Every structure is written in structure tokens, then in C-alpha cells.
Structure 1
């Protein structure tokens, strides 16, 4: 399978900075309004618009809601505080959701008269909501330069510069806001976020600690959350756990904090605590797909397979476009031998990501195991069409074609896989098998030797090598390889049987006997080992032992004419003509299969 199994609990609040400013990267979370995160899929581009929770208060709408910074409620209040009429009207339009009308009103005001800094500041602030970060930054910078240099305008300039990708400029603006208003918690928080986004974890720690000291209310539980993330990145796990717990104490329904706490609890060895924390996160926010996904992984590792599958199902319901829960469920179902259900899960994943060649490889491989070779070949052919450079797809396609007896096509597919990934041992082994099946033993021998040069402990390749060498009469080489095989896998029945075959066929049946006896210890029901043990005894002249092995074999396979003839020969060597004749007659009465 191509699926990597690297499902550590997802770390909420990985801070990143891009053209839209500071945003917290999260694996498919749908957070509550004040969770301090935004919801995106793993690997997707960041959203194009600022979110209030990503930058604490990234727009003036959010900033104005901070205690101590109320907005004017009506025009009279605006006049009383010296706010231009156009600004007051624009604020009312904005609050009513009529953003474009508000922008138009302010643009008209600036065009009809001298550029008022308060109007510029308000237009720049509202433009943030539309994603016009660069224009917003320019207007806000002009506003502070022309005298509108209050803390709120500096703060929004910081947000605009963050959104425009100017991280250092954003820091300078937040510092100006704090200089104007030392207890401006939103500015202090966003300042810390710029440090986190730039990778300066030590400075981020200091700045987030400052936020936690400035405001100890539940509104700023997210500062403890971010501090915990920083401490975890610094390798200070116990301190990070304590900080997540403080965030939860301030805000008991903080589902993302429970989710991240689970990561650190697992890391510290408290898997039961991690599971409880994830279950709490999922109860608080049933729509948090990542919590269900993480819970599914831990339950699977604990052997609670049904609980894991239920968690994966809930993750898929929470985020129908998320691939991981379907893929993890499919892997688990496959491991449990529930192949039809695994096929369905892979098919659902393939329907979500129609151009994902790797998922098609997984789906085709399951279909092959189910015996649906037509569907398997169709999906694997589509996989190599989508991604001709995917060696695993060519290898899987080769297996299907070999199963259909299309050995030349299989050989061609394996060679494509090897050309793409010369170190891919599986494709080289499969190529050797196909060459052997297609009647080219010398070429197959060479390929098996290549496999062993790359992976000397490849037991199955050495098994085939021993058999081919013995069949070709290369006795010295067969004996050497049989000895290596027996040492390599002393408790592997298949390997021991192949080694015994090589010894017996190459003229040393005495070394085959103990190996076959060991096979029967490991697999008492192995009738073929009994038959071959009888053959080895006969080659050694131990006919009584041979008779005993043949009789035990025929108790299990009473209709094997070949074994009856072997038994008849052994009785002849013992001088028991009557028993020899009896078993010859019985053999003749059965369909002849050779020997």
C-alpha cells in the first residue's frame, strides 16, 4: 500500500504567515467563533480573507468589540466624539452587512473634499473585510501620518500590513498601538503572533506570557493556547500541558485545547488521558473532524477497532471532503480482512479526490484481492494515466496482469516501475516471478539475484532461487543457497520447505530430513511436507521411515495416486510384495496424475 501511516495527532495552531497575514493552520477543524483558528484542509492554500480569530481581532468589527473600545452607536455620538458624519454612516452600514455601500460612501467623501485622516482610517479598516489589504495598508498609513495616530488605527494598520505580507511593518504598528495604549490586549496578542509566524519562538513565548498577564479572563484563553503551542515547539512538554490546562480552566468548552492537549498527553505516555481528552473535544464540538480522526487512530492502536471505525465515520460526517478518515478506515478494514467494506471506503475517497492516483492504487489493490481483476485493472490503468511517474501504480498493475496470465504486459509494467525507482525491491521480485512463470528461468535467476543483492534477507527471493537452481541441475549453487536459506529463516515453514527441496533435489536428502521435520513441528497439518519427508527417507534408503510418512500422508490425502506408487516402491524395497501390489492396484484405480 502507498498510504503512509504517520497519523500523529494534528497540532492545532501551527502559525504561518503568507500574503494574507497571520493565520493558524489546522487540520480540518471547524472551530467555534472564538477558537483562535481558521478551518482549512491540510496542504490547502490559506484562505484569501482575514478571519477575526486568526489575528485575535483582525478587523475593526472584532477589534471594536473588545471591552473598553466601544464603537459610537449613532450619528449624535459620532458628532460628539468628533467623528465625521460619513464615517458614522459608514460604520452603521458596515454593521448592517452593507460593506460595499460603506466603502462607496467613504470613497465619495474622500473624492468630494480634502482627504480627512479619520475617513481614510475608516475606509482602510473596512477594506480589510473585502481582502484589499494593500490599499487598506496605504490608507491607514496615510491616516496615521496625517494625525489619525490613535491606538485603534495603529492596530488596524498592523492587521493590514500582516495581510499584505509585511510582517516587520505589522510589528512596528502593533508596538505603536501599545505605546499609545499599554494595556491593549489585542495588539499585544497580534504582536506575539507575528513572532510566532516568523519562527522567533523565544520572543513569542515572552509576548504571549505578557498577554496572559494583561488579561486573565476567559476572553483570552487563546493566549494560553498559543503559549502552549510555543512551549511544545520548544520541547517543553510539561509546561505546554500546563498551559493548555490553564486555557481549559478559563474556558471549559475549549474543544481545540482539549484536542491539542491530547497530543502532548500521548507524547508523555498518558494514552488513556489522551483518549479522554479527545473524547471531550469531540463531545464539545461534534463537528471537529480532527478530534474524531485522532481519536480513531488512538482507539485503533489500543485494539478498539469498532470504536476506531465509529470515530472515523464521525470524522467523515463532520467534514465530508476530508480524505484521511476514509483512508484510515479503509486501511483498518483491510487489516481486519473486511475487504468489501475497505473497497467501499477507498471508493469514497477516490470520489472525493478524483485525480489522486495513489488512492486508485489502493482501490485497485483491494479489488485484486477480491478477485475483481477487471475493476482492478481499470483503476490501476487510470492511476498510471494520472501519474505515469508513480512506480507503485505500475507495480500493482503488473501484479494484476500477471494474475490474468498476461506475463509480457506484466513484465513491461514491472520494468516501468523499476525504471522509475531502481531500488524498488518489490517490483524486481515481481519481475523475476513473471519471468519464471513465462518460462525464462535463466532470466528469472538473474533477477532474483538482483533482489538479493539489494535485500540479502529477502526470504521469498532466496526460496525461488533455490528451487530454480535445483531444477536446472546447478547442484553446488543450489546447496549453497539452501544452506543460507535455512539459516536465514529457521522458523519459517515455507523457507524451510524450499531449503529441504533444494537439498533433496541437489543430492543431499540427509540435510532435507531435519528441515522437513521442523516444518511439521511448525505446521502439523502440512501434508506436502509429509510426502516430501517420505521421498527424502526413500532416497536415504530408510524405507520403513518412508512407509510411515507415506501412510500418514495418505490418511490425509487418500486419493493421491502418486503417493500410492511411492508407497508401493518403498514396500518393494522392504520385500513386501503383497503390500506393494495392493497399493499399485489402488493407484491404477485412481486417475493418473504423473510420477
Structure 2
């Protein structure tokens, strides 16, 4: 019942149903885990932590729970606890699927902190584990996400090489959508708006032909990035907001705030970025974006506070990691 309410977007009734469930079955950790996930999506991070800690009391060595708490620690800036939690999840894992999930968590930890070479190392280790239990097609589908990892690391050629390796490994109709979808990301990485737009239309046609409507939010978000690249900032804002309306679980507030800043709508940008930080308080990219907004508003003091918050997360970032370089340069110029 809770899952049904959640799918309908009625989080209040989902929470009520889960509260009733855990009252009847207090020894089942899954009820607390589901409560934590909904509360986290709503931005009630303290309640999410409380539910996760209750679940861990019931199952203290459950890798899934340790990984969930580590993810929450990462989002709230408890970096040492986050790393310890992810490593604990890996140490507690017994099955290949559990180890794969734990390594994915470590990949996201290092990516969040700008340690991109470490993140790529975790992606490689995750791939080794995945081969032990996933089909080749499942492995290929999951590996597509590493294209964005390489792009974030500034390794465009490696992203292209991975894309070329994977594009032939999926059969139709999956490939009909997945290949042009990731072509969008490759084109955006090269700042080629025309190619990205062409790939978007190909992916949209494939999605509609196969009736894969569940993929529409991802494509709408991609279109927002294309419009932003082409300087159509107000249109990009509309697409980002449409993405979140289609899938409330997607946090596109930072992207929306960035496009609003570029459109000169600074007050709206600040409001959007506040919401992004409410949901993920330690996100360094959001802190950097907020600093840019505040600087444009002439509020240098608060801009510097957000730059320091960004650099706290990026304390050990790779020297080549461009967002951290930008934050250091901005702070050093003040």
C-alpha cells in the first residue's frame, strides 16, 4: 500500500502506511529503510537518519543499510563517517551483488569529493564484481553511466572510447534508445549543441516507438542541458522544472539555479539553490553555484562562505578537477 501511494506521489499517505507497518512489524528493518528513503527525498534528513539508525539496530551488518547511512553522511558533510560506512558495507558484503553495490557507493563518494581517479578505480572494481553475476547486457547497460564519470573527470577521449565499446553490445529495442541517449551526453561533453539536439530527437523517437514513457524525465533533463548550452536559459529552466514534475525524485534544483543565474534571474536562482542545499546540504557543486549567484548580487561575504563549503568537500580533489580549480581561483581572488 505504501509503495502504491508513493508511485502516485502521495508521500504523506505512504509515510502513514509505513508507520502503521513498522508498528505492527517492529523487527522488520525494511519498513524503517523505506521510511528513511521517503523522508530523505522530502528533505527531512534528521528523520531519515533516525529511521536508518533504527534499521541498523535490527540488522547491524546489513550492507544495504550501511551504504544508505553512508550516502546520507556524504550528503550532509560527514565525510569520514561516510567513507567508513561505505568501506564497512564492502567489508560486510558476502554476495557479488552486495559487493557491486558497495563499490558503486564508493565510486559515488570519490566522485562527490572530486577524487575522480579514485572514482574511476572503484568503477573498474565494480565492473569486475558485476561480471560475476550480471548478464553481458546488464553489465553494458550499467557501464553507460561511467561515460558521465569520465566526462566529469575531463577525460573526454576515454568517454568516447567507452561509448564506442558499449554501443554494439545492446540489442534493439534497448539500443535504439540507449545509444542516442548517450550520444547526447558525448555531444554535450564536446559542447556540440547541434549534435546533441539531433541525438535527442533520435532518442525521443525510439522512446515513443517502444512506449518507454518511464524514460521521458531523463530525456527532458537532457533537453534542458541542450537548451542551456545553446543559451536558451529560460527554456532550459522550464525543461528542468518539467523533469522534476515528471519525476519528483529527481533533484534538478542546482541545474535550474544555474540556468536562472545565466538568465540573470538571480533572486530565483538563489531560492532554487537553497532548495538544492536543503535536500543535499554538503553538495560542493551547489555551493559553488550559490557562490557565483551571491557574487553576482554583490554579497561577497556569503559567497566566500559557500566557496569554503565547496572546498571542504573538495579538500582532496584531483588537481585536474575543474570545479575545484574554479572554486580555489574564486576564493583566492577575494
TM-score by length of 1: 0.32
Match of residue 50 from structure 1: none
Name the residue aligned to 1:357: 63
| Counterpart selection for 1:399 from 97, 108, 111 | 108
Give the distance between the partners of 1:484 and 1:298, measured in 2 at CA: 34
SS at match of 1:321: coil
Contact 1:414 1:430 in 2 (8 A): no
- Name the CA distance, whole Å, in 1 between partners of 2:260 and 2:4: 42
Q: 1:433 aligns with which of 135, 148, 166?
A: 148
Equivalent residues of 1:463, 1:498 under 8 A apart:
no
For residue 519 of structure 1, the aligned residue among 236, 244, 250 is 236
Give the distance between the partners of 1:448 and 1:424, measured in 2 at CA.
13
Alignment-derived partner of residue 468 in structure 1: 189
Is the CA contact 2:228–2:236 (under 8 Å) kept in the aligned structure 1?
A: no
Q: Quick check: 1:323–1:349 contact (8 Å CA) kept in 2?
A: yes
Query: Across the two proteins, how many residue pairs are aligned to each other?
Result: 229
- Which of 377, 383, 388 is the aligned partner of 2:89? 383
Q: Return the match for 1:328 from 34, 46, 71.
A: 34
Give the greater-gyration-radius structure (CA).
1
Partner of 1:496: 223
2:86–2:106 contact (8 Å) kept in structure 1: yes
Separation in 2, partners of 1:407, 1:356: 28
Q: 2:198 is matched with which residue?
A: 483
2-structure distance, mates of 1:558, 1:330: 37
Structure 1 residue 393 displacement after superposition: 1.6
Question: Residue 498 of structure 1: CA displacement?
Answer: 4.3
Q: Judge conservation of contact 1:497–1:529 (CA < 8 Å) in 2.
A: no
Paired with 2:46 and 2:120, the residues of 1 have a C-alpha distance of 29
> Contact (CA 8 Å) 1:414, 1:427: kept in 2 or not?
no
State the alpha-carbon separation in 1 of the partners of residues 200 and 8 from structure 2. Answer: 36
- How far residue 394 of structure 1 moved from its aligned partner, in angstroms, is 0.9
C-alpha separation in 1, matches of 2:76 and 2:83: 13
Bigger Cα displacement from structure 2, 437-446 vs 300-309: 300-309
Distance (whole Å) between structure 2 residues aligned to residue 308 and residue 520 of structure 1: 30
Contact 2:181 2:200 in 1 (8 A): no
C-alpha displacement of 1:530: 4.5
Residue 123 (structure 2) aligns with = 414
Q: Is the counterpart of residue 442 in structure 1 residue 157 in structure 2?
A: yes
**2: CA distance, partners of 1:324 / 1:445:** 40
Measured at CA, do residues 385 and 301 of structure 1 come closer, stay the same or move farther in structure 2, by a change above 3 Å?
same
State the distance in 2 between where 1:442 and 1:298 align: 43
Distance 2:4 2:222 in 1: 36
Instruction: Tell me how far 1:311 sits from its aligned partner.
Output: 4.4
Where 2:190 maps in the other structure, the secondary structure is helix
1:340 aligns with 2:83: no
Residue by residue, what CA displacement relative to the aligned partner does 1:348-376 show, whole Å, maximum 9, x if unpaired?
Answer: 11221123212222222233233333222
State the 1:400 CA deviation: 0.4
Q: Distance in 1 between matches of 2:221 and 2:14?
A: 35
Rounded Cα–Cα distance in structure 1 between residues aligned with 2:24 and 2:224: 52
Q: Distance in 2 between matches of 1:434 and 1:521?
A: 26
* Correspondence list, 1:74-473, <5 A: 296=2, 305-306=11-12, 308-387=14-93, 389=96, 390=98, 391-421=100-130, 423-424=138-139, 428-450=143-165, 454=170, 456=175, 457=177, 461-470=182-191
Higher RCO (CA 8 Å, separation ≥ 6 residues):
2
Task: Flag the structure with higher helix content.
Answer: 2
Instruction: Supply the distance in 2 between the matched residues of 1:301 and 1:469 (Cα, whole angstroms).
Output: 36
How does the TM-score come out when normalised to structure 2?
0.54
